[in-house]
Amino acid sequence: MKRLIYLCALTTTMSIFSCSGNAPKNAEPKHWLATWGTAVQLTEPHNMPPAPGLSGNTIRQRVKVTLGGDSLRLKLTNEFGDVPLKISAVSIANSIDSCAIDPASATNVLFGNKPSLEIPVGETVISDPLALSVKHRGDVAITIVYENAPEKLTGHPGSRTTSFIMEGNHLNDANFSNSVKTDHWYSIERIDILTSVKNRAVAIIGNSITDGRGSTTNMNNRWPDVFTDRLLADSATKNLSVLNMGIGGNCVVFGGLGPTASKRYSRDVLEQPGVKYVVIFEGVNDIGGSRDVAQTEQALKDAYTKMINDAKAKGLIVYGATITPFKESFYYTPEKEQLRQNVNNWIRTCGLFDTVIDLETAICSKEDPFIMDSTLHDNDHLHPNADGHRALGNFVDINLFKK
């Protein structure tokens, strides 16, 4: 997949202060760091934008960054489009509430010094750097005016965040109170900040549990959010951003929704600017949909091994998370439960991960370790509820991220 990176959208880890100025002597080296991101996929028909649609109209999408900064850049995508994506204008602002922005902070985004852009089929673009002061865990509104949106639209259906569509051009309107709501993201993929090289990222690759199924829309209480807030509250880990690379229904090896974890691993983990830590927490959908448990077990082991080796080849630290219980869910059979236990035993004992985060134990019932605690699942014995997400996020040992 090609990537278009325009002039001034620098990506290397070096002393970067502006595209035209010179760095002062003895200044702290800086690099571009991903502070928010999402794993994109082809948007399914039932998750497409509601009327009036995107073409000729404006959408405001809200995201919560991890680390703040004063210089940002935005990554947009047409990875799964069937025609070029044409955008008339883009702005970024600090968000006040669900659809309102601080108008004084509204900043037009340029691409190669131009406000409009066309993203070819299968490609992405990174904006020019822009000056906007965003605080840690700040809410940012990305407003896009579309000239033409592909019928095959790239996005992230499981945003757990409400977006707002208005007819016509409303680029820097302070409020979208008369808009049409949709709980999906479209065309946005990442926000980077220019920050100290001491600041790094944690990339978590996963499925619907990491994506936030069972959490509360607009509350940012997915388990990676709980984990993020704990990192930022500790003086030794407050320099880390967290990237939620979960896709609902995703598989590691074959089937599922979106590109498999094996196929998207480079895009969503290895190529993220500033990444240092990797958490692999995926496999339940491969197991639940397995037709040949022996084949699935070996395929998962092979895929995990490649992910680990590819990350370590780049000097990254890799943690494996055990697969959470699903007894009494629609996935359950005795054979699949044995497969889950076999895979978890391999994760714990293979010796390839730098360490193991035993999330199974964070959420299982004390009476039956093979079933999810009845107070922590979303009435399906498979996905955690908001309390379950809190339990997972609080379970992760943040000392692992002080290395």
**pLDDT reported for residue 27:** 81
Entry field: residues in the chain: 403
**pLDDT reported for residue 47:** 98
Report yes or no: 245 and 204 within 8 Å, Cβ to Cβ.
yes
Dist CA 89 CA 141 (whole Å): 14
**Is the torsion defined by CA of 123, 209, 263, 203 positive or negative?**
positive
**pLDDT reported for residue 22:** 54
**pLDDT reported for residue 10:** 38
- Residues ≥6 apart with Cβ < 8 Å to 36: 63, 64, 65, 66, 140, 190, 191, 241, 243
Walk me through the domains of the chain, giving residue ranges and CATH numbers.
4-17+30-191 (no CATH), 198-402 (3.40.50.1110)
Q: Which one, of 384, 80, 67, lies nearest residue 242 by Cα? A: 67
Q: Which one, of 43, 51, 50, lies nearest residue 187 by Cα? A: 43
Report yes or no: 347 and 322 within 8 Å, Cβ to Cβ.
yes
Q: Which one, of 388, 65, 95, lies nearest residue 222 by Cα? A: 388
**pLDDT reported for residue 1:** 43
Secondary structure (H, E, C), the chain: CCCEECCCCCCCCECCCCCCCCCCCCCCCEEEEEEEECCCEECCHHHCCCCCCCCCEEEEEEEECCCCEEEEEEEEECCCCCCCEEEEEEEEEEECCCCCECHHHCEECCECCECCEEECCCCEEECCCEEEEECCCCEEEEEEEEEECCCCCEEECCCCCCEEEEECCCCCCCCCCCCEEECCEECEEEEEEEEECCCEEEEEEECHHHHCCCCCCCCCCCHHHHHHHHHHHCCCCCCEEEEEEECCCECCCCCECCCCHHHHHHHHHHCCCCEEEEEEECCHHHHHCCCCHHHHHHHHHHHHHHHHHHHHHCCCEEEEECCCCCCCCCCCCHHHHHHHHHHHHHHHHCCCCCEEECHHHHHECCCCCCCECCCCECCCCCCECHHHHHHHHHHCCHHHHHC
Dist CA 376 CA 385 (whole Å): 6
Dist CA 242 CA 248 (whole Å): 18
HSE value, Cβ hemisphere, 13 Å, CA-based, for 39: 32
**pLDDT reported for residue 229:** 98
* Token pair listed for 364: 């299982």
**pLDDT reported for residue 28:** 86
Dist CA 207 CA 211 (whole Å): 6
- Mean pLDDT per 10-residue interval, the chain, length 403 residues: 44 37 71 98 98 98 98 98 98 95 97 98 98 98 98 98 98 93 98 98 98 98 98 98 98 97 98 98 98 98 98 98 98 98 98 98 96 97 98 98 94
Dist CA 114 CA 297 (whole Å): 50
Dist CA 32 CA 25 (whole Å): 20
**pLDDT reported for residue 177:** 87
- Residues ≥6 apart with Cβ < 8 Å to 151: 82, 83
Enumerate the β-bridge partners of residue 281: 206
Q: How far apart are the first and last CA of the chain?
A: 33
pTM of the model: 0.94
